[in-house]
């Protein structure tokens, strides 16, 4: 192929018919539209769906991804659009890479984000390797995020629709993975456009509800899953105030998260109390006033850097950060402590910062994701 060959819509110097694209199909409307769109454009599409867990319990559960119904829906879309579709059994990989850590994190008093680990360790690692084994030129997903070419190569940018943006969950995408990945929906203005495309292609999933729950917690009961994986995890303990005074008893540290106010069972006080810290070693839940949740300095590790130059090549990075997926980016200074560890100073204090959550770095005033890392308790 000549070097000056025109680029196709996926940025590759080939005609679509000669470009093989593996589409990661969850069975939902987003990835189904991606597959149908690329097939209509003439690409050599191969659909792949991962069976990630024993989906028997979720067959009748709406709002959980990767369940049995979802595999069926993905297969129907592939049949209707006329491209091959494969289901890969990744249950053991998923359990080892995602579910076990999820349980251990809760037992350690953290609040994990398993969807990020799934993208990092399963979808963008093992599945991406499978796509290469299938001689694919790239892999496409239904995520709402944008891949743009910059002076230094492919960059990750927030979706055009802030309400659908999934950048918080994709910060750990590496530059090498980004070279191979494509996100055809990231530029759409709204989810309504996606559903309109699904209707245009006549897809059976056009009106299918969005997934809400973590796929292996189809009932929404996190504690029950953890107790099953780690018997004894819900041992009771004490609820104490900032001075160590016992205010009551609790039914297991795994039932609480940092910043929680409701469900503490210690009413009758003049001022509301919030969960400030979890101590799994002593099985204590520490509560205090809202101001006790205020945090300005956050230790972050396992950093994936997507910015220009080496992460620790500068003493400071002035960026904006998200410490929870539902919160807007806040101005911050990131001070590297090494190639993959840093201290993040928030210019304005944030409440409810919890170990186990991600701290994602954004270009201030722009849409580019500069990477991020995992919040931990520090040394």
Tell me, what's the pLDDT at 339? 97
* pLDDT, tens digit (0-9, with 9 covering 90-100), for 106-124: 888 888 899 999 999 999 9
Tell me, what's the pLDDT at 2? 52
pLDDT for 37 beyond 80: yes
Residue 337 marked as a ligand binder = no
Q: Please state which of the ranges 55-59, 211-215, 253-257 shows the lowest mean pLDDT.
A: 55-59
Q: What is the mean pLDDT of residues 214-239?
A: 83
Residue at token pair 């129907």:
76
Tell me, what's the pLDDT at 59? 40
Residue 275 marked as a ligand binder = no
Residue 348 marked as a ligand binder = no
Tell me, what's the pLDDT at 308? 95
Is residue 215 among the annotated active site residues?
yes
* pLDDT, tens digit (0-9, with 9 covering 90-100), for 149-195: 999 999 999 999 999 999 999 999 999 999 999 999 999 999 999 99
Q: What is the mean pLDDT of residues 219-245?
A: 85
Average pLDDT of the chain is 90
From the candidates 66, 138, 215, 359, which is the catalytic residue?
215
Output the pTM of the full model: 0.90
Tell me, what's the pLDDT at 255? 87
* Phi, psi at 215, each rounded to 5°: -60, -35
Please enumerate in sequence order all residues whose Cβ is within 8 A of that of 126, keeping only pairs 6 or more positions apart, or say none.
Answer: 90, 93
From the candidates 65, 115, 118, 359, which is the catalytic residue?
118
Residue 31 marked as a ligand binder = yes
pLDDT for 55 beyond 90: no
């Amino acid at each position: 192929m000549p070097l000056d060959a025109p680029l196709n819509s996926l940025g590759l110097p080939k005609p679509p018919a000669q470009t093989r694209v593996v589409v990661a199909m969850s069975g939902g409307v987003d990835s189904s539209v991606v597959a149908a769109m690329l097939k209509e454009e003439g690409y050599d599409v191969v659909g792949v769906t991962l069976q990630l867990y024993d989906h028997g319990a979720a067959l009748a559960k709406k709002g959980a991804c990767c369940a049995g119904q979802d595999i069926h829906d993905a297969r129907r879309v592939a049949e209707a659009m006329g491209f091959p579709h494969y289901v890969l059994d990744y249950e053991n990989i998923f359990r080892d890479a995602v579910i076990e850590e999820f349980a251990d994190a809760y037992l350690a008093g953290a609040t994990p984000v398993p969807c990020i680990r799934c993208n990092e360790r399963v979808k963008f690692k093992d599945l991406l390797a499978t796509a290469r084994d299938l001689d694919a030129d790239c892999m496409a997903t239904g995520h709402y995020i944008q891949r743009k070419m910059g002076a230094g190569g492919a960059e990750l940018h927030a979706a055009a629709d802030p309400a659908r943006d999934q950048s918080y969950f994709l910060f750990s995408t590496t530059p090498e993975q980004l070279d191979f990945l494509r996100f055809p929906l990231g530029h759409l203005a709204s989810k309504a456009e996606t559903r309109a495309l699904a209707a245009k292609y006549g897809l059976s999933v056009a009106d299918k509800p969005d997934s809400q729950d973590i796929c292996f917690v189809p009932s929404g009961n996190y504690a029950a899953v953890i107790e099953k994986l780690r018997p004894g995890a819900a041992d009771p303990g004490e609820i104490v105030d900032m001075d160590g005074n016992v205010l009551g008893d609790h039914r297991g540290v795994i039932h609480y998260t940092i910043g929680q106010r409701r469900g503490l069972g210690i009413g009758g006080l003049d001022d509301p109390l919030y969960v400030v810290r979890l101590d799994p070693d002593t099985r204590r839940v520490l509560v205090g006033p809202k101001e006790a949740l205020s945090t300005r300095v956050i230790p972050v590790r396992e950093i994936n850097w997507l910015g220009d130059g080496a992460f620790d090549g500068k003493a400071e990075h002035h960026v904006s950060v998200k410490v929870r997926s539902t919160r807007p980016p806040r101005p911050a200074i990131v001070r590297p402590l090494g190639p993959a560890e840093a201290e993040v100073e928030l210019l304005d204090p944030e409440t409810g910062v919890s170990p186990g959550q991600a701290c994602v770095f954004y270009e201030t005033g722009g849409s580019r994701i500069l990477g991020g890392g995992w919040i931990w308790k520090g040394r």
